[in-house]
Amino acid sequence: MPDKNSTFKNFNFPEGELLLINKPYNWTSFDVVGKIRNSMKPLKLKVGHAGTLDPLATGLLIVCTGKLTKQIDTFQAEEKEYTGTMVLGATTPSYDLETEVDQIFSLEGISEEKIKENTKQFLGEIDQFPPAHSAIKINGERLYEKARRGETIERRSRKVTISVFEITQIELPEIHFRVVCSKGTYIRSLIHDFGAALQNGAFLSKLTRTRSGNFHLKDAYEVMDLVNHIRSQKTETTPVG
């Protein structure tokens, strides 16, 4: 991360600012937006994010303010890049560390060659089902709310595109990877399906978004550094309703 003391500026939030944030672990994307919105008081501004990150994921979150919130859909549609770690030989209902392991598989016969070869079938346009523990709404209710009550959930597949699925390091049961994909891709689902394709199991243990379009994590602010700067900034703009 660069020295943010040299990159902070006097923001014009009503006219619109695009803020690159390094979302902390265990924060929701809405937590980040709320923290930034509250730091701008008494200005009453629209603040939104382009592309949700799960609470257990970290990395680049694009936050827009004021008039720039009208362009959120454009930023959200951009290609994304992630790095992460999966655990092979087990599954969880949420496809990540949110829930406990529910199945364990033997790693006997799983070779490095087989792991790397397995990525090829996920390249290009694929059909993907969102995890049951996801924020997608069906009939006005988020899937994870139904999943936590133990209800049966009907999920619809969606078309997503995987441009890169690279295995960067293998330390079984852990496998490190890099993925470049279209918007709407669930990396948790990709990892779950990857394990199933090996006739095994896998779940996501770590995920970081490193890029969204032409914006990179290396240029992002730490959220509390930015919030403290905003609070200390003497804003001369007038509130916008």
- Domain CATH for 141: 3.30.2350.10
Q: Which residues are catalytic?
A: 54
Q: Who's near 124: CB < 8 A, 6+ residues apart?
A: 161, 162
Closest CA to 44 of 13, 8, 9: 13
pTM recorded for the entire structure: 0.86
The residues of the chain scoring below 50 in pLDDT are 1-6, 142, 146-147, 235-241
| The token pair that represents 67 in the structure block | 């008039």
- Residue 5 CB coordination number (10 Å): 8
Residues 99 and 167 in one domain: yes
Check the CA dihedral 143-145-148-149 and report its sign. Answer: negative
Q: What range does the domain containing 183 cover?
A: 80-210
Beta bridge partners of 61: 21
pLDDT tens digits, one per residue of 162-221: 999 999 999 999 999 999 999 999 999 999 999 999 999 999 999 999 999 999 999 999
> How many domains does the chain contain in total?
2
- How far apart CA 125 and CA 137 sit, in angstroms, is 23
- Core vs surface per residue 51-79: b (16+ CB within 10 A) or e: bebbbbbbbbbbbbbbbbbeebeebbebb
Residues 66 and 145 in one domain: no
